[in-house]
Chains A and B, each alone.
Chain A
Amino acid sequence: MFEEEEKKLEQRKKSIDKVEVPRDKLHFAVQSGFEKAKKERALKRSKIRKRSTWSIAIAAILLISFVTSISVSPVFASKVASIPGLEKIVSLIKQDRGLTAAVENDFYQPINLSQEKNGITVTLDGIIADKKGMVIFYSVHSKEVDLSTLEIKYLELSSGMTPRYRFGLGNNYGLNLTPREGTNFYSGVKTIEKVAFSKDPSWGMGIKNGDKIEHFNIPFTYKLMDVENKNIVVDKEVTIEGQRFKIKQLIVNPIRTTIKLEEDPNNSKKLLSRAFDELKLVDEMGRTWSTTPGNSYKVLPKGNLWEVPLMESFYFHDPKELTLTFGKVAAMEKSEAYVLIDTETKEFLEQPSKSIFSNLQVKDNRVSFIVQVDKEYDKNLVHFNKFIDANEKEFYIETGGLTPVVNNYVRGSMITVPEVGQKFEFELPDKSFTTYTNPIRLDLEFYPSWIEEDVQIEIK
């Protein structure tokens, strides 16, 4: 029945079997993995023995700190047994050391409220909340409708009637609900980085069933956990390829750790979007906390302060020593970080020395050019959100959804042209509406350019 597919899979196996195995390195990899596990076990034993006279609570927290993602700790298991509804979300959090520890330390608040509409039931299972943000666990099940035919259209957190957070998908998009294997049950988790405490919050969700969107809204109440942050003040400077940065401090709270750092305004290079994707913290036992790629951001558009959130928080792990490394930092010369276009003469007046832009065209009020990025570079990073005319007037380029009917908004698009690159196109403002003055400038927030130097910073 599937002879062809089977044949292809067998061919694939054969070609992978042909790949040469680096035997020495492989042997070494096994040995070092084994050593790492042994060392950790020994450490764990000695620590627990030493503190056996301490209170059970402290012992429990210590134990947690040695649990990594793969196995579930006894503490965690007992929480699962004692908190109603928690078993549903286990698979969502056991990959995240920070969240697991939050549950183990009683930060999980079960909600277990459901709403049913046309055979589909949405449940707000529970939340983890601290002063800044919230992690929301929700699930969907149905006895009548096959979940894999449904799509999520939006997720929303409101305070009274006011939406506080919304994750929405455009008209033509939906997120497939993929039910858990062998069930008709879906569970999801949404981390909301910043949301103020609200007395009357509600969780909303839009689910597309065929042509119809079902809107769910579940009001709930929760306690704001009054916890102390375990912030670490660093105030250390670092130089990477001549560019100076200052690590200000680490904001450490139960669900999130954020690194605050500052770029020296006199640096010759500009930090690009996703500047700190490779930043990493390693503790004395080799445990690593990495950043969530793409999540580092500038606090103020014109400021020098950056915030880099980590994927997991180490709040409950209390590392003794912490070392920070940067990896590759996305940056380019400030003097080159833009493209200057004259729409009359239809040419690039200025662009970076090793330019990735070509084939400029101006036709019927539309400007377009090709952006060529290497295979190693994520083409999703390529974007322009505004252009600036000779009088510093800003025009915002809207590439998705509706373009606001305001005279400094124009439509734009980015498409992939096979074997050529990304084609970026935007409209010039309608002259009867508003005017602009040549040349126009597009500032670069992305570029395949990095700085890298082997530097380490002792945080703790």
Chain B
Amino acid sequence: MSEMKLVEQAIKGNEDAFLDLIHSYQEALYRTAISYLKNEGDALEAVQEVTYRAYRSIKTVKQPAYFKTWLIRIMMNYCQDVIKKSKREVLEDRIVSMQGVSEDFTYLEVEEALLNLSDYERELLHLKYFEDVKIKDIAVMWNTPEGTIKTRLHKALRALRHNFEEKGEMKRV
């Protein structure tokens, strides 16, 4: 079955179709969760919760073509809530302890800068640079003109740059 058909079936309430879809995107969901939450336990819990939420609100999917992004957005919302509820310091420490990436300082710097963005900006950057969603598609999904999305993307990148620079200055001092 094609993905579109699967999504349509899932919306109608076909449980197998729903499970097939989630399993095919589970890795993408997990990586999104890791990118926000930085540890395996929390990321797995996030996947569980997002599966649950997705099943509950599957009927609200309006554009089957963007099903994957719809899922990713539920995940991002969930993660943002988790981050708000926990504390930033805790999160920053988790980044350091994350295996395999801890040597890369650039990475830490990006992570810190991302924490200082608004939810919206972070979501936008995530879709564009992590999920490789085209600006054109984001515009369709959010029902916003392409130009506006571009402007906001630039604003987000500028905010990111600003955060880098601020960080740089602090280090020099």
Q: Which residues of A contact B (CB under 8 A)?
A: 1-2, 4-6, 8-13, 15-22, 25-27, 29-34, 36-38, 40-41, 68, 70-71, 95, 178, 181-182, 293, 375-376, 378-380
Interface range for B: 35 or more
If A12-B110, A26-B26 touch, whether A379 touches B48 (CB-CB below 8 Å) is: no
Cα A379 to Cα B88 in complex, Å, equals 11
In the complex, how many angstroms separate the beta carbon of A156 from the nearest chain B beta carbon? 25
Cα A33 to Cα B164 in complex, Å, equals 38
If A10-B129, A38-B15 touch, whether A378 touches B87 (CB-CB below 8 Å) is: yes
Chain A residues lying within 8 Å of B106, measured Cβ to Cβ, are 8, 11-12
| Contacts A19-B98, A29-B45 supplied; 14 other A-B pairs, CB < 8 Å | A6-B157, A12-B107, A21-B31, A22-B40, A26-B27, A30-B23, A30-B47, A30-B48, A30-B51, A37-B55, A41-B56, A70-B56, A71-B57, A95-B81
Chain A residues lying within 8 Å of B35, measured Cβ to Cβ, are 12, 16
Chain B residues lying within 8 Å of A379, measured Cβ to Cβ, are 89
Chain A residues lying within 8 Å of B96, measured Cβ to Cβ, are 375
In the complex, how many angstroms separate the beta carbon of A266 from the nearest chain B beta carbon? 34
A16, A26, A40, A375: the one within 8 Å of B44 (CB): A26
- B125 CB–A CB distance under 8 Å: yes
Are A21 and B90 in contact (CB-based, < 8 A)?
no
- B7 CB–A CB distance under 8 Å: no
Are A19 and B100 in contact (CB-based, < 8 A)?
yes
Query: Is chain B's binding surface mostly helix, strand, loop or mixed?
Result: helix
Are B55 and A1 in contact (CB-based, < 8 A)?
no
Are A15 and B107 in contact (CB-based, < 8 A)?
yes
Chain B 120-140 interface mask (CB, 8 Å, partner A; 1/0): 100001000110000000000
If A6-B129, A95-B81 touch, whether A21 touches B51 (CB-CB below 8 Å) is: no
Are A34 and B19 in contact (CB-based, < 8 A)?
yes
Cα A376 to Cα B44 in complex, Å, equals 21
Are A26 and B57 in contact (CB-based, < 8 A)?
no
If A6-B157, A17-B31, A34-B55 touch, whether A376 touches B93 (CB-CB below 8 Å) is: yes
- B72 CB–A CB distance under 8 Å: no
Cα A21 to Cα B114 in complex, Å, equals 23
Cα A1 to Cα B157 in complex, Å, equals 10
Chain B residues lying within 8 Å of A2, measured Cβ to Cβ, are 154, 157-158, 161
Chain A residues lying within 8 Å of B23, measured Cβ to Cβ, are 27, 30
A26, A32, A71: the one within 8 Å of B30 (CB): A26
- B22 CB–A CB distance under 8 Å: yes
Chain B residues lying within 8 Å of A11, measured Cβ to Cβ, are 104, 106-107, 110
Q: Which residues of B contact A (CB under 8 A)?
A: 15, 18-19, 22-23, 26-27, 30-31, 34-35, 40, 44-45, 47-53, 55-57, 60, 74, 81, 85, 87, 89-90, 93, 96, 98-101, 104, 106-107, 109-111, 118, 120, 125, 129-130, 144, 154, 157-158, 160-161, 164
Chain A residues lying within 8 Å of B74, measured Cβ to Cβ, are 70
Chain A residues lying within 8 Å of B144, measured Cβ to Cβ, are 182
In the complex, how many angstroms separate the beta carbon of A418 from the nearest chain B beta carbon? 10
Q: Which chain B residue shows the least CB distance to A9?
A: B129
Q: Can you give 12 A-B contacts (C-beta < 8 A)? A: A9-B125, A11-B106, A19-B98, A26-B27, A29-B26, A33-B50, A34-B19, A34-B55, A36-B52, A38-B55, A41-B56, A378-B90
In the complex, how many angstroms separate the beta carbon of B15 from the nearest chain A beta carbon? 7
When A and B form their complex, which 6 residue pairs have the shortest distance between CB atoms, in order from nearest?
Answer: A33-B51, A37-B55, A33-B48, A9-B129, A33-B52, A2-B157
Q: Which chain A residue shows the least CB distance to B81?
A: A95
Are B47 and A34 in contact (CB-based, < 8 A)?
no
Cα A13 to Cα B44 in complex, Å, equals 19
Chain A residues lying within 8 Å of B60, measured Cβ to Cβ, are 71
In the complex, how many angstroms separate the beta carbon of A202 from the nearest chain B beta carbon? 31
A-B contact count (CB 8 A): 130
Cα A354 to Cα B48 in complex, Å, equals 40
Cα A446 to Cα B144 in complex, Å, equals 49
Are A22 and B101 in contact (CB-based, < 8 A)?
no
A31, A36, A178, A293: the one within 8 Å of B118 (CB): A178
Q: Which chain B residue shows the least CB distance to A379?
A: B89
Are A37 and B51 in contact (CB-based, < 8 A)?
yes
Which of A19, A22, A27, A182 has its CB near the most chain B CB atoms (within 10 A)? A19
Cα A70 to Cα B47 in complex, Å, equals 15
Are A5 and B51 in contact (CB-based, < 8 A)?
no
Are B44 and A29 in contact (CB-based, < 8 A)?
yes
In the complex, how many angstroms separate the beta carbon of A278 from the nearest chain B beta carbon? 12
Are A16 and B56 in contact (CB-based, < 8 A)?
no
Are B89 and A378 in contact (CB-based, < 8 A)?
yes
Cα A40 to Cα B157 in complex, Å, equals 42
Cα A285 to Cα B60 in complex, Å, equals 24
Q: Which chain B residue shows the least CB distance to A418?
A: B170
Chain A residues lying within 8 Å of B111, measured Cβ to Cβ, are 12
Q: Which chain A residue shows the least CB distance to B148?
A: A182
Are A19 and B47 in contact (CB-based, < 8 A)?
no
In the complex, how many angstroms separate the beta carbon of B117 from the nearest chain A beta carbon? 12
Cα A57 to Cα B98 in complex, Å, equals 51
A1, A4, A18, A95: the one within 8 Å of B101 (CB): A18
Are A21 and B27 in contact (CB-based, < 8 A)?
yes
Chain B residues lying within 8 Å of A32, measured Cβ to Cβ, are 48
A1, A71, A378: the one within 8 Å of B56 (CB): A71
B55, B101, B154: the one within 8 Å of A33 (CB): B55
Q: Which chain A residue shows the least CB distance to B104?
A: A15
Cα A83 to Cα B170 in complex, Å, equals 50
In the complex, how many angstroms separate the beta carbon of A450 from the nearest chain B beta carbon? 15
Which of A1, A8, A22 has its CB near the most chain B CB atoms (within 10 A)? A8
Cα A181 to Cα B118 in complex, Å, equals 10
In the complex, how many angstroms separate the beta carbon of A305 from the nearest chain B beta carbon? 27
Cα A36 to Cα B154 in complex, Å, equals 41
Are B48 and A19 in contact (CB-based, < 8 A)?
no
